[in-house]
Amino acid sequence: MVWYNLRVGTFYLKYTPLKPITKEYPYCDSEGNILKRIVEGRGKAFFVNENTGVKNETAFRLINNKPYAKLSKTKETDNYLEVDNKEIDDLIVEKQYLIDCDLLLKELKESNKSLKFGFTFGNGFKVYKAYIHTNKMYKDFLFMSVGTTQKSEVIKELMSEQKQKKKLQQIDISIQGIDRAKVEDLIAI
């Protein structure tokens, strides 16, 4: 990730965007053989098995070594958790929606909890974490916040990169502090 510089008044800051971590799954045929996507002149795409040269009009995605078709849009679920409202603060929100359900609004306001579940828009293989929650500012409304990544995941990755950079700088400083060997030091005459 890249850090940018910014001056606000007398404060000199460094900032980096918190971007969702994306997962890509390779294209495959119905047997799980890897395919390469080829785009023709007018944007029409097809898929080719590079080992056999076989051309396919449709492809699946290889997930955990099994071929899968596109996901269907989430229209109902019984698989959800009640979680503390604070958990939403850790989500990198990619999309947000207004929810209309007075009964659920009342229940979530009283419990100070949120509902968390898996959600997909049905346009591919992207699975989101969805939270239905109340809001301190808009107390009489429910919201659904949707995202793929927790901020803590990205921060952990950034801190790991920072530690690696500091280690490399320490190694560089160590090397600079060492004198070069001289021929006389290596061979006694």
Query: How many domains, in total, are found in the chain?
Result: 2
* 90 and 127 within one domain: yes
Check whether 122 has a pLDDT greater than 50: yes
Question: Are 30 and 67 contacting, i.e. CB atoms less than 8 angstroms apart?
Answer: yes
Q: Which domain holds residue 56?
A: 20-68
Structure tokens at 137: 């500012």
Check whether 86 has a pLDDT greater than 60: yes
* 140 and 91 within one domain: yes
Average pLDDT of the chain is 86
In a domain, 98, yes or no: yes
* 59 and 38 within one domain: yes
Reported as a single tens digit per residue, the pLDDT across 151-175 is 998 888 888 887 777 766 666 655 5
In a domain, 44, yes or no: yes
Structure tokens at 77: 């679920």
